Amino acid sequence: MSAAPSLAIETEPSGTAGGQSVVTAPRVTTDPKGNTVKIKKAAALCAVVGVALAGVSLAALPANADPVSSSYVLAGSDTLQDVANALANGTTVTGVNVRALSTTGPIASYDAFGGSAIQTKPNGPFFARPAGSGDGVKALSRSIDGAQFSVSGNTTPAISIPGQVDIARSSSGPGTNANASGPLAYIPFGRDAVSYAIAPGTTTGLEQLSTAQLTQIYNCTLTSVNGVAVSPVLPQSASGTRKFFLAAIGVTTPGACVNQSTLPENDGTVLTTPGQIIPFSVASWVAQKNGAAPNRTGTAVLGSAEGTTAPYTGTTTLTPNPAYYADSTWGRDVYVVVEFARIDNTSATYDAGLAALVDPTKAKSLTNFGSTAGTSGAVKVKFGFQAPSSTTIIRANLS
């Protein structure tokens, strides 16, 4: 479910939210930093607060109101999280209702951040919340091979999670895991681009940086630009945006000056000191500023990693700049990842429902990129994505 402002909701012992069965008993757990938190699950939410789910991405719900799904489950990338939540829950952001439904009912999309543990399927185990693209693909891989799953920095014990995650959200491709006969299928979801956010209070001078300058900044050989001190920050280690950004600037091991935090990606409010910069998805920035997604930009500013080429145009309503997205260094395709055998109609484990859900020819599938208001593609545009540069599925090894 989508991340949201704090909202206290008392729940009844049982019920549903958005068509999903929900575990409602409060439980005590820990967040990724080891802090004790109590999680309450939302139940019968439409009846309790009178919210019509069609037309909202559940931005008004607490981030810990996680569903328990009898259908397909998505987890992973923060960059794809808001648009995946909108498609899973239903949205009227295009002017008409669009909801990606499977043949077995509503699908469930889990945020990258929230309570430390999630339960995705009825009677299934509680396991560490996948916090980003890397963790999402690992959770899918462990759902396939049955090996134990855990997340670095999360105190939730390692546990076997067969069949608990069906789809991983990934803001990066498979990289060196690519394998033409591998068991995973990376299916293009859309086109995004990456830049960097600048902390509020920073003196003008960091708004336009080159790839070479960013390389020096994250190698710690450049500490001031245009007379402005710069302090590089990276999001948490499982972030696909972090992985993409470092690859784009050719940095394998960041310098000692880099704050290699456990901070979430695509959140401008984490920048608290003037001069700080952090990688940021342009699609996420556009979606947040346009009100399609919960706004976590704060008073940060988005710079350009392509010098004078702006990531977006407009002031009141932002529009992605096609020239920026087309750049071979800073533009990127993003993906949903599934087990290939389940979408291969010659396989004994073929799953027609999952195959339809990731079939780009279906108007309301996760991978559609149509242009009419009733399509998933039109929803993605509202969330700052463009059509992917390729529709070719990439096979890969388990992670």
pLDDT one-digit tens code per residue, 305-334: 999 999 999 999 999 999 999 999 999 999
Lowest-pLDDT range, 23-27, 167-171, 326-330?
Answer: 23-27
Q: How would residue 202 be classed by pLDDT, with cut points 50, 70 and 90?
A: very high
pLDDT of 65: 57
pLDDT tens profile 68-79: 888 999 999 999
Given this model, what pLDDT does residue 104 score?
86
Residue of higher predicted confidence among 65 and 244: 244
Residue 207: which residues within 8 A CB-CB, separation 6 or more? 198, 301, 303, 304
CA angle 26, 29, 32 (to 5 degrees): 140
Asked if 275 contacts 305 with a C-beta cutoff of 8 angstroms, the reply is no
Residue the block writes with tokens 């134990």: 148
Do residues 236 and 267 make contact, with C-beta atoms less than 8 angstroms apart?
Answer: no
Place of tokens 């096609």: 322
What are the helix (H) ranges across the chain? 45-49, 81-89, 133-145, 211-219, 240-248, 282-289, 322-325, 352-357, 376-382
Digit-coded pLDDT (tens) for 185-197: 999 999 999 999 9
pLDDT for 288 equals 98
pLDDT band at 261 (very low <50, low <70, confident <90, very high): confident
The average confidence (pLDDT) of the chain is 86
Phi-psi region of 326 (alpha: psi -120 to 50; beta: other; left: phi over 0): alpha
CA gap 267, 275 in Å, rounded = 16
Q: Reduced to 3 states, what is the DSSP secondary structure of residue 160?
A: strand
* Cβ-based burial of 28 (10 A; exposed 0-12, middle 13-18, buried ≥19): exposed
Per-residue model confidence as pLDDT tens digits over 350-383: 999 999 999 999 999 999 999 999 999 999 999 9
- pLDDT band (50, 70, 90) for residue 36: very low
Cα separation, 201 vs 185, whole angstroms = 44
Question: What is the value of pTM for the model shown?
Answer: 0.83
**What average pLDDT does range 116-136 have in this prediction?**
96
Q: Which two tokens stand for residue 328?
A: 């071979």
Separation of alpha carbons 311 and 308, rounded Å? 9
Amino acid at the residue 267? D
